[in-house]
Structure 1
Amino acid sequence: MKSPITSLRLRRAARTLFGWKTLRPGQLDAMRAILRGHDVLAVMPTGAGKSALYQVPATQLAGPTVVISPLLALQQDQIGGLERRGSANLKAVRISSAETPKQQQAALAALRDGHAEFLFITPEQLADPDRLAEVKKLKPSLVAVDEAHCISAWGHDFRPDYLALGHVVRALGRPPVVALTATASPPVRDDIVARLGLERPKVMVTGLDRPNLFLEANNCPTEDYRWRRLQALLAEGETPGIVYVPTRRGAEELAGRLRAAGHEAAHYHGGMAAGAREKLHEEFLADKVPIMVATSAFGMGIDKPNIRWVAHVALPDSPDSYLQEIGRAGRDGLPARTLLLWRAEDEGLQRFFTGAAPGSDELRDLAAVLRADGPLTKAALRDRTGLGARKLGQLVALLEQVGGAVTRSGGKVASPRYAPQPAEVAALAVAEAERQQSLQRSRTDMMRGYAEARGCRGQALLAYFGEKMNHVCGHCDNCVAGRGTPDNGAVGPFPVHTTVRHAEWGPGMVMGYEDDRMTVLFDEVGYKTLSVPVVSEQGLLVAEPR
Structure 2
Amino acid sequence: MLPLEALKHYFGYEAFRPGQAEIINASLNQQDVLAILPTGGGKSICFQLPALLKPGVTLVVSPLIALMLDQVLALQKNGIPATFLNSTLAAAEARARIHSILNGEVKLLYVAPERLVSDSFTALLANIHQTVGIASFVVDEAHCVSEWGHDFRPDYRQLSRLRELFPSIPMMALTATATHCVRADITEQLSLKQPFIHVASFNRPNLYYEVIEKSRGKVSLSELTRYIKKTEGSGIIYCMSRKNVEKLASELNENGISALPYHAGLNNDTRTDHQTRFIRDDVQIMVATVAFGMGINKPDVRFVIHYDLPQTIEGYYQESGRGGRDGEPARCTLFFSPGDIKQADWFIQNKVHPETNEPLEDEQRIARQQLRQIAAYADSTLCRRTTLLGYFGEAFPGNCGQCDNCRFPKPKQDWTIEAQKFLSCVARTGERFGSRYIIDVLRGSTRDKVTKNGHETLSTFGIGLDKSIKEWQHLARSLVQQNLVNESDDGHGILTLNTLSWAVLRGQHQVWVALPNQLSKEKVTIEKEPDLGPIHTGLFQSLRTLRKELADDQGLAPYMIFTDSSLKEMARYRPCSLPSFSKITGVGDKKLEVYGSIFVKHIFTYCQQHRLHEAMPRFIPSETPTEKKPTARERTLNVCKLFQRGLYPQDIAKSLEMKVQRVYEHLADGIEAGQIPSIERLVSPERQTMMLKAFDKHGADRLKPIYEELNEQFSYEELRVMRALWKVTNRN
1:118 aligns with 2:108: yes
Paired residues of 1:226 and 1:341 also in contact (CA < 8 A): no
Partner Cα distance (2:73, 2:494) in 1 = 44
Partner Cα distance (1:200, 1:240) in 2 = 42
SS at match of 2:286: strand
1:461 aligns with 2:378: no
The 1:224/1:247 distance shift into structure 2, 3 A limit, reads: closer
Unaligned runs of 5+ in 1: 1-7, 363-390, 392-429, 486-501, 506-511, 540-546
The normalised TM-score by structure 2 is 0.54
Superposition map of 1:5-404 within 5 A:
9-86=2-79, 90-139=80-129, 140-152=134-146, 159-173=153-167, 175-220=169-214, 222-225=216-219, 227=221, 229-236=223-230, 238-354=232-348, 356=351, 358=353
Partner Cα distance (2:256, 2:3) in 1 = 53
Paired residues of 1:516 and 1:531 also in contact (CA < 8 A): no
Task: Give the counterpart letter for 1:477 in structure 2.
Answer: D
Which position in structure 2 is the counterpart of 1:381? none
Partner Cα distance (2:243, 2:480) in 1 = 38
In the TM superposition, residue 531 of structure 1 has moved relative to its aligned partner by 5.9
Paired residues of 1:219 and 1:343 also in contact (CA < 8 A): yes
The superposition leaves residues 466-508 of structure 1 with CA deviations (integer Å, 9 ceiling, x where unpaired) of 12222421100011114699xxxxxxxxxxxxxxxx9989xxx
SS at match of 1:224: coil
Partner Cα distance (2:215, 2:496) in 1 = 26
Partner Cα distance (1:73, 1:345) in 2 = 35
Paired residues of 1:155 and 1:162 also in contact (CA < 8 A): no
The 1:326/1:175 distance shift into structure 2, 3 A limit, reads: same
Which position in structure 1 is the counterpart of 2:609? none
The 1:358/1:269 distance shift into structure 2, 3 A limit, reads: closer
The superposition leaves residues 190-214 of structure 1 with CA deviations (integer Å, 9 ceiling, x where unpaired) of 3323332333333222132222221
| Range with greater deviation from structure 2 (187-196 or 471-480) | 187-196
The superposition leaves residues 302-355 of structure 1 with CA deviations (integer Å, 9 ceiling, x where unpaired) of 322332211111111112111111112223433321110123343344445455
| Range with greater deviation from structure 2 (318-327 or 158-167) | 158-167
The 1:243/1:250 distance shift into structure 2, 3 A limit, reads: same
Paired residues of 1:316 and 1:447 also in contact (CA < 8 A): yes
In the TM superposition, residue 534 of structure 1 has moved relative to its aligned partner by 6.0
Which position in structure 1 is the counterpart of 2:379? 452
The 1:170/1:306 distance shift into structure 2, 3 A limit, reads: same
Q: CA RMSD in A?
A: 3.6
Partner Cα distance (2:492, 2:194) in 1 = 23
Paired residues of 2:485 and 2:500 also in contact (CA < 8 A): no
In the TM superposition, residue 276 of structure 1 has moved relative to its aligned partner by 1.3
Paired residues of 1:455 and 1:484 also in contact (CA < 8 A): no
Task: Give the counterpart letter for 1:130 in structure 2.
Answer: S
SS at match of 1:297: coil
Task: Give the counterpart letter for 1:37 in structure 2.
Answer: Q
Partner Cα distance (1:312, 1:483) in 2 = 21
Partner Cα distance (2:78, 2:188) in 1 = 35
The 1:352/1:31 distance shift into structure 2, 3 A limit, reads: farther
| Range with greater deviation from structure 2 (441-450 or 233-242) | 233-242
Select the structure of larger CA radius of gyration.
Answer: 2
SS at match of 2:209: strand
The superposition leaves residues 336-379 of structure 1 with CA deviations (integer Å, 9 ceiling, x where unpaired) of 211101233433444454554759x98xxxxxxxxxxxxxxxxx
In the TM superposition, residue 65 of structure 1 has moved relative to its aligned partner by 0.8
Unaligned runs of 5+ in 2: 413-429, 434-478, 506-732
1 or 2, which has the higher helix percentage?
Answer: 2
In the TM superposition, residue 228 of structure 1 has moved relative to its aligned partner by 5.6
Which position in structure 1 is the counterpart of 2:607? none
| Range with greater deviation from structure 2 (35-44 or 512-521) | 512-521
In the TM superposition, residue 54 of structure 1 has moved relative to its aligned partner by 1.1
The superposition leaves residues 187-246 of structure 1 with CA deviations (integer Å, 9 ceiling, x where unpaired) of 332332333233333322213222222111133363435556434423536342111011
The normalised TM-score by structure 1 is 0.71
Task: Give the counterpart letter for 1:23 in structure 2.
Answer: F
